[in-house]
Amino acid sequence: MRASDYRAMLVREEEDGSFHRSVTRRSMDDLPDNDVLVRVHFSSLNYKDALAAAGHKGITRRYPHTPGIDAAGVVVESRAEQFRPGDEVLVTGYDLGMNTPGGFGEYIRVPADWIVPLPPGLTLRESMIYGTAGFTAALSLLKLEAHGLSPVDGEVLVTGASGGVGSMAVVLLAHSGFHVVAVTGKPEAEPFLRDLGAHRILPRSALDDTSQRPLLKQEWSGVVETVGGHFLSTALKSTRRHGAVATCGNVASAELHTTVFPFILRGITLYGIDSATTGMPLRREAWTRLAGPWKPDQLHHMARRTVRLDHLNEEIERILAGRQQGRVLVQVMS
């Protein structure tokens, strides 16, 4: 028999417009009436979670709210034929943790078509070391692979390499045999990135070209670009002929200032990565790769810290301040 209430991080909007976070008891009646009830064992911390926890109305419209766009756990109840109590499952993206109570609570209730059965080769804990960051990196690698990119084509650039998606991209690309050039603004992260397999490390300034030149020296066969702004435009201008750039972030800027010349003179392809609404066939393919041939030996090293709900607040402040390296795993189950 399940309990009638559960623990969760709750973000409240105060009368003065400020936002307050606390771990409190919630009623099962507060969960939406969806198909499948999941007991959450693990979640992970992403930049989007931190924004929701800080009251960003572009992420979460209504408060009080429980963030957490990632969750892995065990099915408790199900009205869907494809899931039964006891099944190990994971959920990333869709509306979880945005306007649907998310993985920073001991239970979630979600539509069945959001759920991925935990693939063989992964534990619940490992799936949340990956989380949305690893899933996004995997989608980027699938795009580069489908484009025809292979390790013999030359170096692959990863921007924002010490962050969640960036560090996952470094380790997945290196594990697949690519020579990875990692860009970071954190010199202290260099040993971490080398442990993940980075072949070269560049300072952030090397990719922040603000000139008006439409093209730069051709350097990269492919790029996983996680930052946006000048970093994306510089990556486009310096990618080799017929190369590919997969972009998934905008922490530097949502604006892109470039010309058509990288596209019409060098045949560069720009791929947008939308991990939140990826269709289930591709979603399952990515997770199957992450559980099997793409699973790196360093996966457990990616979890730089494991915290419980009561200690999550300081990690949220850390990621908002741009001081996170690697992944923060959230152990939800008591």
- Residue 195's nearest CA partner among 3, 65, 325 is 325
Question: What are the tens digits of pLDDT across the range 185-240?
Answer: 989 999 999 999 999 999 999 988 888 899 999 999 999 999 999 999 999 999 99
**pLDDT tier at 110, thresholds 50, 70, 90:** very high
- Mean pLDDT value of segment 133-147: 97
Which domains are seen in the chain, by residue range?
A: 5-118+302-331 (3.90.180.10), 132-272 (3.40.50.720)
pLDDT at 71: 98
Strands (E), the chain: 5-13, 19-27, 36-45, 70-78, 88-92, 107-110, 116-117, 156-158, 180-184, 200-203, 220-225, 239-247, 269-272, 303-308, 327-331
C-alpha distance across the termini of the chain, in Å: 17
pLDDT at 156: 98
Question: What are the tens digits of pLDDT across the range 151-182?
Answer: 999 999 999 999 999 999 999 999 999 999 99
Question: What are the tens digits of pLDDT across the range 227-286?
Answer: 999 999 999 999 999 999 999 988 888 889 999 999 999 999 999 999 999 999 999 999
pLDDT at 1: 36
Measured between alpha carbons, how far is 94 from 181 in angstroms, rounded to an integer?
31
Measured between alpha carbons, how far is 308 from 334 in angstroms, rounded to an integer?
8
What is the amino acid identity at position 190?
E
